[in-house]
C-alpha cells in the first residue's frame, strides 16, 4: 500500500479498475489512507468514461492490466508490490465521516447518478452482514467471489467483509464452474463463496464434484427455491441470499430453503408512499426509492414480488428502459426506438432475462446501430433481438405499452433455424 | 476428475470438422436462443464482443453445453481461453482435442 499510495498523485478521485481482487483492495485502502474517493461505475464503456471525467476532472485510473484501454490518465498497479511479509505497525483508524467511495446508477436522462458512500456507513453495513451470516467473531474465513470487486455486492461482501472482519480474500475471480471449484479447493476452510444465480446454475448443472464449502452467499437476482435447495445439497452447506441495491447497499437476508421472507437489517425501515417502496435508516445514506415491488409482512420482514417494470437487471448490472431508450434515440439516424422486456423460454431456462428493442431507422443497418449502442451501454443490455420496423405501436396518448412491443416483435419474420 | 484415459483418436477428417462445426453452431444457437440460423455463424468470426456479440453470460452458457455434450471442462486460467472463444472454428478445435465423449 505504501508503494501504491504515492503513485496515485494529488487528485481526489481514483477509478479503481483493478481486476485482481487483492490489487483492488490495496488500491482502495491506499485511497482511504490518502483521503481519495474510489469511483466504482458498473461498466467502463467509452460513454461512461467520458461522463466520469466530467463528473471528476481530476480522476485517474488505477489498473493492473497491461492493455487497459480506459481513456483517462492511467496508473499501473506496481508489478512487484507483493508484500514482503512485514505487517503494518498498527491498523490505521479512518474517520467514519470520510467519503470512501462513489457508486453510480444510470439516470433516465443519460447522465449517471452518483451515490456517495462514507466509510462509517459502509462498515456499519458489512458488520451487520457479518452478523447475519453468523461470521461475527468467527474464525477467519477465506472468501472466494465470482463477482467483480467494483460491483456494490462484490465490493461489500468480498473486499469490505475481508477488511472489516480480518478474513482472507482470494485474489482471482473464478468464472467457469471448474475454476470456481478449483479456487474453493485451493483455500483452507472455513471458506465462503460469494456468487450469483448465474454462476450457481452453471455449477449445479456441471458434473463436477463440488468442494465442501462453509457458506454460500448469493445476490444480484432472485434465486429459485429449487436451485437454492440443489446448491445446499451439492455443497453440503447453507445458502443465504442478500437483498440490496447500489444506492442502499445490502439491507436484508433470507435463507430461501427455509422461508420466502426477507429479514431487514436492524435500523432499516421500509415505507410505502404513493405506491412506491422507500428504504431509509440504519446505514442508508439517504431515503431511497427501491426498484422492486415489496410486500411488508411484519416488523422488519417482507416478500419480494419482482421488479418495477422500468428497471432492467441483467446478471447484477442495472439499467432502466428509460435510460436505454434515451441512448438508442440519441444515435444519429434513429428516428424512434424503444427497448422492452422479453419473456421467452430462454429466460425461464437460464434465469437471465434479456431486453429487446424495436427501432425505426431506415438509413441504418443492425451492425451500425449495435456498434453505436456498444459505445454507450454495457454489452449485456444490447438488444436481443434488435428489430427494424416502419413505426412503433404507440397508442393514442403516444405511450408505448410493453405488450404492444412484444406483439410487434412476435409478428416479425424470424430466420429459419435448424430443426 | 475422471481416471479414465480418453482413447487415442485419429486426426479428424475435414468432413468430421465440418460436421462438428455445424453441430456446435446449432448447440450455440439453441442454448442462447439466437435470432440467426446456425449456418449464418461465420466459423472464423469472433464469438465474444464484436462479431457474434456474445458476452460473458453467454460464454458461461456455452461452456455448460460443451461440458455436457463433449465432456470438456473449460478453464479461464489457461492462456488458451481467449483463443478458444476467438472463433467457432477455434472452439471446435479445442473440443476435438479435449473431448471425452
The per-residue pLDDT for range A157-215, each reduced to its tens digit, is 999 999 999 999 999 999 999 999 999 999 999 999 999 988 998 999 888 899 999 99
pLDDT tens for each residue of chain A, 419 residues long: 888 998 998 999 999 999 999 999 999 999 999 999 999 998 888 989 999 999 999 999 999 998 899 999 999 999 875 555 566 667 889 999 999 999 998 776 777 899 999 999 999 999 999 999 998 877 899 999 999 999 999 999 999 999 999 999 999 999 999 999 999 999 999 999 999 988 998 999 888 899 999 999 999 888 888 899 999 999 999 999 999 999 999 999 999 999 999 999 999 999 988 878 999 999 999 999 998 888 899 999 999 887 777 888 887 788 888 889 888 988 999 988 999 988 765 555 556 778 999 999 999 999 899 999 999 898 889 998 899 999 888 876 667 888 888 888 888 765 443 33
Measured between CB atoms, does B53 come within 8 Å of chain A?
yes
Q: Is residue A71 part of a domain?
A: yes
> For residue A380, which residues of chain B lie inside 8 Å, CB to CB?
55, 57
Q: What is the mean pLDDT of residues B45-63?
A: 81
Please indicate if any CB of chain A lies within 8 Å of the CB of B75. yes
Measured distance CA(A100)–CA(A419) in Å, rounded: 55
Cβ burial A388-405 (10 Å sphere, 16+ → b, else e): bbeebeeeeeeebebebb
Domain ranges of chain B: 14-98
Q: Does A12 reside within a domain?
A: yes
Which of A186, A379, A412 is the mutation pick for testing B, counting most B CBs within 10 A?
Answer: A379
Domain membership flag for residue A55:
yes
CATH number of B14-98: 1.10.1200.10
**Within-domain flag for A328:** yes
* Residues 6 or more apart whose Cβ sits within 8 Å of residue A350: A198, A201, B57, B61
The single-letter DSSP state of residue A220 is: S
Asked if residue A140 lies in contact with residue A131, where contact means CB atoms within 8 angstroms, the answer is: no
From the list B33, B50, B68, the residue facing A344 with the nearest CB is B33
Q: How far is A368 from chain B (nearest CA, A)?
A: 12
Select from B47, B76, B82 the residue whose CB has the most chain A CBs within 10 Å, as the one to mutate to test that interface.
Answer: B76
Nearest to A301 by CA among A270, A267, A264: A264
- In which domain, by residue range, is A13 found? 1-80
A416: nearest CB among B32, B37, B74: B37
Q: Which residues of A touch B77 (CB under 8 A)?
A: 172, 179, 182
Query: Counting Cβ atoms within 10 Å, is residue A365 exposed (0-12), middle (13-18) or buried (19+)?
Result: exposed
Q: Please tell me the distance in Å from A328's CA to the nearest CA on chain B.
A: 17
Phi, psi for A211 (deg, rounded to 5): -65, 145
What residues contact residue A396 under an 8 Å CB cut-off, 6+ apart? none
Angle ∠(A31,A83,A16) on CA atoms, nearest 5: 30
Flag whether A164 is in a domain. no
A350 is a domain residue: yes
ipTM of the prediction greater than 0.90, yes or no: no
Q: Do B73 and A208 touch (CB under 8 A)?
A: yes
**What CA–CA distance (Å, rounded) separates A286 from A357?**
34
Cell digits of residue A294: 415489496
Residue A277 located in a structural domain = no
Interface test with B, best of A350, A371, A380, A385 (most B CBs within 10 A): A350
Chain A residues with a Cβ under 8 Å from any Cβ in chain B: 172, 174-179, 182, 198-199, 202, 205-209, 314-315, 344-346, 350, 352, 370-371, 374, 379-380, 382, 384-385, 414-418
From chain B, the residues in CB contact with A175 under 8 A are 56, 60, 76
Instruction: Say which CATH number the domain at A36 has.
Output: 3.40.50
- Work out the minimum CA distance from B60 to partner chain A, whole angstroms: 6
The reply to whether A137 falls in a domain is: no
Model confidence, pTM:
0.83
The count of domains in chain A is 2
Q: Kindly list the residues from chain B whose CB atom is less than 8 angstroms away from the CB atom of residue A205.
A: 64, 68
Amino acid at each position: 500500500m505504501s508503494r501504491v499510495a504515492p503513485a496515485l498523485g494529488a487528485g481526489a478521485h481514483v477509478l479503481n479498475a483493478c481486476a485482481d481482487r487483492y490489487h483492488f483492495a490495496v488500491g482502495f485502502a491506499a485511497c482511504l489512507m490518502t483521503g481519495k474517493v474510489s469511483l466504482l461505475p458498473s461498466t467502463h464503456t467509452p460513454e461512461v468514461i467520458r461522463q466520469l471525467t466530467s463528473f471528476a476532472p481530476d480522476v485517474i485510473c488505477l489498473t493492473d492490466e497491461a492493455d487497459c484501454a480506459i481513456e483517462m490518465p492511467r496508473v499501473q498497479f506496481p508489478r512487484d508490490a507483493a508484500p514482503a511479509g512485514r505487517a503494518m505497525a498498527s491498523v490505521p483508524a479512518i474517520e467514519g465521516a470520510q467519503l470512501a467511495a462513489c457508486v453510480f446508477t444510470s439516470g433516465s436522462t443519460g447522465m449517471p447518478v452518483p451515490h456517495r458512500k462514507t466509510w462509517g456507513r459502509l462498515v456499519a453495513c458489512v458488520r451487520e452482514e457479518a452478523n447475519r451470516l453468523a461470521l461475527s467473531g468467527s474464525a477467519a474465513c477465506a472468501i472466494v467471489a465470482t463477482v467483480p470487486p467494483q460491483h456494490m455486492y462484490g465490493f461489500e461482501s468480498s473486499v469490505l467483509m475481508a477488511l472489516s472482519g480480518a478474513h482472507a480474500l482470494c485474489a482471482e475471480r473464478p468464472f467457469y464452474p471448474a475454476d470456481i471449484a478449483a479456487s474453493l479447493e485451493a483455500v483452507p476452510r472455513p471458506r465462503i463463496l460469494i456468487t450469483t444465480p448465474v454462476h450457481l446454475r452453471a455449477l449445479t448443472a456441471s458434473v463436477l464434484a463440488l468442494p465442501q464449502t462453509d457458506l454460500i452467499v448469493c445476490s444480484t437476482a432472485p434465486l429459485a427455491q429449487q436451485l437454492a435447495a440443489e446448491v445446499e445439497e451439492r455443497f453440503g452447506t447453507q445458502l443465504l441470499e442478500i437483498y440490496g441495491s447500489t444506492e442502499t447497499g445490502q439491507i436484508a437476508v433470507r435463507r430461501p430453503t427455509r422461508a420466502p421472507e426477507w429479514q431487514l437489517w436492524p435500523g432499516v425501515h421500509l415505507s410505502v408512499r404513493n405506491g412506491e417502496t422507500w428504504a431509509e435508516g440504519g446505514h442508508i445514506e439517504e431515503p431511497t426509492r427501491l426498484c422492486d415491488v415489496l410486500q411488508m409482512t411484519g416488523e422488519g420482514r417482507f416478500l419480494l414480488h419482482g421488479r418495477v417494470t422500468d428497471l432492467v437487471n441483467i446478471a447484477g448490472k442495472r439499467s432502466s428502459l428509460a435510460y436505454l431508450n434515451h441512448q438508442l434515440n440519441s444515435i444519429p439516424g434513429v428516428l424512434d426506438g424503444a427497448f422492452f422486456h422479453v419473456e421467452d423460454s430462454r429466460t425461464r431456462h437460464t434465469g437471465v432475462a434479456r431486453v429487446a428493442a424495436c427501432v425505426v431507422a431506415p438509413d441504418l443497418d443492425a451492425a451500425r446501430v449495435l456498434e453505436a449502442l456498444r459505445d454507450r451501454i454495457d454489452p449485456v443490455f444490447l438488444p436481443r433481438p434488435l428489430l427494424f420496423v416502419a413505426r412503433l405501436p404507440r397508442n393514442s396518448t403516444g405511450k408505448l405499452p410493453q405488450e404492444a412491443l412484444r406483439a410487434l416483435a412476435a409478428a416479425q419474420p424470424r430466420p429459419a433455424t435448424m430443426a | 476428475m475422471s481416471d479414465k484415459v480418453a482413447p487415442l483418436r485419429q486426426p479428424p477428417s475435414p468432413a468430421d470438422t465440418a460436421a462438428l462445426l455445424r453441430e456446435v453452431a446449432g448447440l450455440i444457437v439453441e442454448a442462447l436462443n439466437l435470432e440467426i440460423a446456425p449456418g449464418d455463424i461465420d466459423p472464423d468470426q469472433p464469438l465474444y464482443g464484436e462479431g457474434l456479440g456474445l458476452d460473458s453470460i453467454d460464454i458461461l452458457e456455452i461452456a455448460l453445453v460443451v461440458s455436457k455434450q463433449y465432456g470438456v471442462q473449460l478453464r479461464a486460467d489457461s492462456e488458451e481461453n481467449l483463443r478458444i472463444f476467438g472463433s467457432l472454428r477455434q472452439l471446435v478445435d479445442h473440443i476435438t482435442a479435449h473431448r471425452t465423449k
